[in-house]
Amino acid sequence: MNITSDLPQFAQLLMSRFFFGMIVGASMLYVAMHFHVVRGKQGVFLVSKISNNLSDVYVDTREFSLSDWQQHKPLAAAIMKSNQTQLLEDSSLTSFRSSVSGLVDGLFGDR
């Protein structure tokens, strides 16, 4: 085994793994910046974010109460905007749904 003859293959392997890691990392960052990953009672959903940031990347909403939704208003507005209201299941959220719906219609109604 000659180290000098195996070095180019080893370097090529390292570079290909490095570039693969860069592509995977950039893809994950894109998804985290542009989508909420929401786990609801019906499964896992991707919801487009209203503003591109790293807040609420993954949220498990199966046990959310009204106070939880009030702490995650951008997520609730994104769910209402994307017409996936089945993720807002709790019957105590009816008034919150209508207020968020009014907010979303006011902000994005003319688009």
**Strand pairing partners for 26?**
none
- Which residues, at least 6 apart from 41, have a Cβ–Cβ distance to it below 8 Å? 62, 89
pLDDT (mean) for 31-60: 92
CA 91 to chain centre: 25
Q: CA 51, CA 70: separation in Å to the nearest integer?
A: 17
Q: What is the pTM of this model?
A: 0.68
- Which residues, at least 6 apart from 44, have a Cβ–Cβ distance to it below 8 Å? 37, 38
What strands, in cross-sheet order, belong to the sheet with 43-48? 43-48, 35-40, 58-60
What local confidence, expressed as pLDDT, does residue 91 receive?
42
Q: How confident is the model at residue 35 (pLDDT cuts 50, 70, 90)?
A: very high
Taking 80 as the threshold, does the pLDDT of residue 63 lie above it?
yes
Q: CA 65, CA 74: separation in Å to the nearest integer?
A: 16
What local confidence, expressed as pLDDT, does residue 29 receive?
96
**Could you report the per-residue pLDDT of 5-28, keeping only the tens digit for each?**
677 888 888 999 999 999 999 999
Residue 97: how many CB atoms within 10 A of its CB? Answer: 16
- The H-assigned helical ranges of 35-91 are 66-71, 73-81
* Residue scoring higher pLDDT (32 or 101): 32
Average pLDDT, the chain: 83
